[in-house]
Amino acid sequence: MSSTDEIKKLEKIRSTLIMELLSITEMIPGAFNLAFRKCGKSNCWCSNGKGHPFNRIIWTEGGKVRTKSIPDEDISWIKRITEVHREFKGKCREIQKIDGEVKKLIEAFRREVIKHTRGLRKYL
């Protein structure tokens, strides 16, 4: 396959990825998990165990780790929108990889055109 055909193919894939990214309406960075915390009451059962379970999302913002408790009714929602963010980042990495490949192919195309042009005249 020629450089131009390969570039066109990659640009089509890249364009599709960008359109998928632009169609996203909700996402949030972070990881959802179950954590435990002790309430601090000396007569509570948690004082001898891991603690009370609670759902949380944890993320980094401005160099600081942030944590927020998630209500039970929002568990499926938070799982979905954090997964959307992971998929978003994955597609961004795919676009960066394609950009690198296109850059190499464009350089190969430039060399092909120069070689062809030099072949048009004996003095080049």
The answer to whether position 124 is within a domain reads no
Residues 51 and 71: their CA atoms lie apart, in Å, by 18
Total count of domains within the chain: 1
> What domain range is 45 assigned to?
3-118
The answer to whether position 45 is within a domain reads yes
The answer to whether position 11 is within a domain reads yes
Q: Residue type at 56?
A: R
Pairing state of beta strands 31-37 and 64-69?
unpaired
Residues 23 and 26: their CA atoms lie apart, in Å, by 9
The answer to whether position 97 is within a domain reads yes
Tell me what pLDDT residue 3 has. Answer: 82
The answer to whether position 23 is within a domain reads yes
In the predicted model, residues of the chain with pLDDT beneath 50 are none
Tell me what pLDDT residue 1 has. Answer: 62
- Is residue 61 classed as helix, strand or coil in its secondary structure? strand
The answer to whether position 38 is within a domain reads yes
Residue 84 sits at φ, ψ, to 5 deg, of -60, -40
